[in-house]
Chains A and B, each alone.
Chain A
Amino acid sequence: MTRLRTSAMIASLAADGQKVTTAPFGHTLARLAETRSDIVGMTADLGKYTDLHIFAESHPDRFYQMGMAEQLLMASAAGMAREGFTPFVTTYAVFAARRAYDFIYMAIAEDRLNVKIACALPGLTTGYGPSHQGTDDLAIFRAIPGLVVIDPCDAVDVEQATEAAANHVGPVYMRLLRGHVPRVLDDFAGRFEIGKARLLRDGADVLFISTGILTMRVLEAATALSGDRIDAGVLHMPTVKPLDLAAITAALQRPGRLIIVAENHTTPGGFGEAVLAQAALHGGAAPMRQIALPDAFLDAGALPTLHDRYGISTKTIVERVKAWL
């Protein structure tokens, strides 16, 4: 068994030799701020690990270091947004979702303020254990009325979603992929739009409906399955809220294929449940299966091992799909 270095626990998601972009969020934000004087950056001592340091270096006059104080971070961003600025605030998903929730709900979302919350370590993207694994953030943030919730697949999604968030009027929560982020979606037509699903590939036997980095995984799985003469499609839904209900309903109309919802999040209240609810309400007759993290406090360890253990690696997805068919 390969011994993984500790750095693998902080974890780039990129496979060896995969095309990557470094700090897509930080560079995009710094570029947007060249022409958008309303954009400010704020963090709670995680600028370096959320790629906001790129913005801090290029726009030091509009960067605010709020210290390890996430409640202050969210509410002071609300204050700045109230005065016409567009704050991009960064921390880890766990701290935004679990520690600062009331401040996001009341100070930001109730008044529909233009605060953009970009949070690293979403789902199982670190091996540091439950204190740092944001495996419940989608469920928590889906519960806030009017909040846009985005789970990008790769660097391309991150770049385009950052720009879309800046242009959107209202609050946004975006799961952040940072560091060396794989580029996958360059090879597909279309681009990120808030609230829009993208059919990346069609399939007659299986349709994955996926969000976040699981889209990257199911694309790989679809390629692998084609070697076994299994025709699998991928409907990518980077916006978890508002959900593209029409795209789901349309996908369910086509008979004779297995629908598989896939997300980097635990089962309760996540993306999968949202899709399954839509299917149930609209009488979809297709058989459906779910790929998600278990409803549990997950283990610490090396990320690739954890992805295998919890069933979200490409290899385990392929095995499970074959077993289901």
Chain B
Amino acid sequence: MALTFQPLSGNALADMAQQNRIDTARMFKAAGNGHFGSCYSCADIVTVLYFATLRIDPTNPDWPDRDRFLLSKGHAAPTLYSALIRRGFIPEDWIAEYETHVGARLMTHPSRRYQAGVDASLGSLGHGLSIGVGMALAARLDHKDYMTYVLMGDGEINEGSVWEAAMAAAKYGLGNLVGIIDNNGLCVDGRTDDVMPMGSLVDKWLSFGWEVSRVDGHDLNALLQVLAPRRLMGHDRPHMVIADTVKGKGVSFMEDVRSWHSDSISNTQYAMAMAELGALQ
């Protein structure tokens, strides 16, 4: 059993988050383009989940007692793929084939059909939290203590289905459900607040009956604390973690630049990005 896995912390965790960004860049280089900004804003969150928080076992990807993770912002799939590779769910050499040919096992959005360790095929925004509600209900009916984590984008929560799920999670007192909003402030057409002003996210989720935490989404220690599973603590309210992040975090020329939501990368830019991320060329 890989449960002997020692959770990472400190510098090792920070290094893994950088590795995640490096792996992502390699995938996008192979494909010629990709959602750099969307991946880099949540790389720290996903790294904390996969290397410290989630109870998972790479030798048994469908282990019934594993914690579930749904990447509802499915366009950040390479971030998830890197975590799955570095935890040993899928082989590293898949990176080179990302999106490169028909039948490639790593594609733009995560798919249960191809990748071990993926809990649902996602990519159409607004699905994850509702699916997570179903998984959390199932856990209760099965008398299991696994947690379900759902990572969403801050633009994604414009979708009405997210708020349908918000109501249901509170109604059923799903303390085994944790939502995370990657609050990077940008979506495809502009600033999230201009595209659709949402007001106070904290107030909104509180008023929907959730427990709410707000955290710096790039502070690994803060993420470790706020994402820690509460399976034994008898919580009866779902938990929303609003993680304030920077789109493109980690590569200076991508940070908070809207066009890097999804873009192609030149050889020069790629070399600069890899240097900033500390990759050995």
- Interface residue ranges, A against B (CB under 8 Å): 40, 61-62, 64, 66-67, 69, 71-72, 74-85, 87, 102-103, 106-107, 110-111
Contact = CB atoms under 8 A, between A and B. Distances in A.
Contacts, number: 99
B126 A106 contact: no
A77 B134 contact: yes
Contacts of B137: 64, 76, 79-80
A144 to B, nearest CB: 14
A42 to B, nearest CB: 9
Given A69-B164, A71-B161, A83 B142 contact: yes
Given A72-B133, A75-B131, A80-B138, 4 more contacts: A71-B161, A75-B133, A76-B133, A110-B121
B130 A103 contact: yes
Contacts of B134: 75-83, 87
B119 interface: yes
B124 interface: yes
Most chain B CB neighbours (cut-off 10 Å) among A75, A82, A110:
A75
Closest 5 CB pairs of A and B: A79-B134, A75-B130, A83-B138, A76-B134, A69-B164
Contacts of A71: 126, 130, 160-161, 164
B165 A76 contact: yes
Given A72-B161, A75-B161, A80-B134, A62 B167 contact: no
B167 to A, nearest CB: 6
Contact of B132 (A67, A79, A102): A79
Interface in B131-165: 131-139, 141-142, 160-161, 164-165
Contacts of A69: 161, 164, 167-168
A318 B131 CA distance: 49
B239 interface: no
A79 B113 contact: no
Contacts of B127: 75, 102-103, 106-107
A72 B130 contact: yes
Contact of B131 (A62, A66, A78, A102): A78
Secondary structure at chain B's binding surface: helix, strand, loop or mixed? helix
B112 A72 contact: no
Contacts of A85: 138, 141
B120 interface: yes
Contacts of A72: 130, 133, 161, 164-165, 167-168
Among B131, B135, B171, chain A packs the most CB atoms within 10 A around the CB of B131
Contacts of B126: 71
Contacts of B139: 83
B160 to A, nearest CB: 7
Tier of interface size on chain B: 20 to 34
A208 to B, nearest CB: 40
Nearest to A68: B164
11 contacts: A62-B141, A64-B137, A66-B168, A67-B167, A67-B168, A72-B133, A75-B165, A79-B137, A82-B135, A84-B142, A87-B134
Contacts of A83: 134-135, 138-139, 142
A82 B130 contact: no
Given A106-B127, A107-B127, A111-B120, A79 B138 contact: yes
Nearest to B139: A83
Given A67-B167, A107-B120, A79 B130 contact: yes
B123 interface: yes
Nearest to B70: A79
B164 A67 contact: yes
A80 B134 CA distance: 5
Contacts of B160: 71
A82 B68 CA distance: 11
A103 B130 CA distance: 10
B125 to A, nearest CB: 10
Interface string B69-95: 000000000000000000000000000
Contacts of B167: 67, 69, 72
Contacts of A110: 111, 113, 121
A139 to B, nearest CB: 21
Contacts of A76: 130-131, 133-134, 137, 165, 168
Q: Which of A61, A80, A103 has the most CB of B within 10 A?
A: A80
A111 B136 CA distance: 19
A79 B168 contact: no
Nearest to B167: A67
Contacts of A87: 134
A323 to B, nearest CB: 48
Contacts of A66: 164, 168
A102 B124 contact: yes
B61 to A, nearest CB: 13
Nearest to A79: B134
B168 A111 contact: no
